[in-house]
Structure 1
């Protein structure tokens, strides 16, 4: 399983935009896009992928996932809100993301900082857990398919847990 070990290491070596990387000044759209592009480019599957676009941000505002921009600049809180949307939309439906981020009562900077601390903690034990419990026979097509099915099922369990937590918001 040496190739899988390398792949696990690569996946868990992702970099994040740190709160100290975000200026305490309001940023124009192009500056926000550059911040995402520079800070998160290591997670791209393909170098030509776009992590965030003007259209995406405008749609997030229109759909209520982030608070409306005043003028043409985005506040630090809105950038933190965008970072939360970015992370959530990878696994959840936009309506679920909106239930979490389309709120005035959330401290997005605090939530994002907690995410980073949780990710750091998860990086310390999840790779070893995967190495211990994943099947080692991933050299053929059947082994890769079976492993991908198992990994996707884990992702489904995690998404369903998130959905259950979101559903409890309105109760």
Structure 2
């Protein structure tokens, strides 16, 4: 099963992430999907998995989760938000992502005074500084220790891997619950759809 190689490969992908690799020029949709799918290639479970498609990105824009492109071109801030959405959507719902990111988009997206790029750099640096990867490595080492005395090598490797799966699943579940509670604690704002519906309603009243 080579759990150690799997862990090493995934952690290396995360650790090698560099925001400076993001293009400083605006991109068309095809360029965006090509860039991001290459960037997240290591996240695929299967070779034919779709990571970010045109349809996904268009749906994000239609739902106002992602600000619409300017003249069909996406800025560096668009790419940063798409990266954040990509990571978040694997853990939390789109509605929760909208709640979490709406204030960030409102205050920092394409704002000359407040840089979304600088905020994202701080996010990345914080994750690297906290080095949460060490807990995964520690869990792997401990799972090996618990079954090291088994005579059956096949069963030993299986049980070591199963223990690691169970441990990481528990950690993911507990953290997901904490994340959802933290999102629920954020100040509530009208979501984009509510605002749109309200604007239409107000316009209809005015027309009458």
Q: Same fold (TM over 0.5)?
A: yes
Q: Kindly state the Cα deviation for residue 169 of structure 1 after the two structures are TM-superposed.
A: 1.0
2: CA distance, partners of 1:18 / 1:64: 27
TM-score (normalised: structure 1): 0.84
Residue of structure 2 equivalent to 1:105: 107
Deviations 1:81-131 (A, max 9, x none): 111111111111111111122331245423322232234332663344223
Residue of structure 1 aligned with 2:123, choices 115, 128, 132: 115
1:166 matched to 2:175? The reply is no
Higher helix share: 2
In our comparison, the structure showing a higher alpha carbon Rg is 2
Alpha-carbon distance change, 160 to 124 in structure 1, aligned in 2, over 3 angstroms: closer
Match of 1:134 in 2: 143
CA distance in 1, matches of 2:45, 2:123: 22
Sort the Cα spacing of 1:42 and 1:112 in 2 relative to 1 into closer, same or farther, 3 A. Answer: same
- Which position in structure 2 is the counterpart of 1:150? 167
Gaps of 5+ in 1: none
Structure 2, unaligned runs of 5 or more: 109-114, 148-155, 189-208
- Range 53-62 or range 101-110, more displaced: 101-110
Query: RMSD value over aligned CA atoms?
Result: 2.5
**Aligned counterparts of 2:87 and 2:178: Cα–Cα separation in 1:** 16
Quick one: structure 1 residues 143 and 5, their matched pair in 2 at CA, closer, same or farther if it must change by over 3 Å?
Answer: closer
Q: Is 127-136 or 23-32 further displaced after alignment?
A: 127-136
Instruction: Give the Å deviation of 1:75.
Output: 1.2
Give the structure 1 partner of residue 206 of structure 2: none
Matched residues, number: 169
Q: Is the 8 A contact 1:88 1:97 kept in 2?
A: yes
Task: Describe the shift of the 1:17–1:143 C-alpha distance in structure 2 as closer, same or farther (beyond 3 A).
Answer: closer
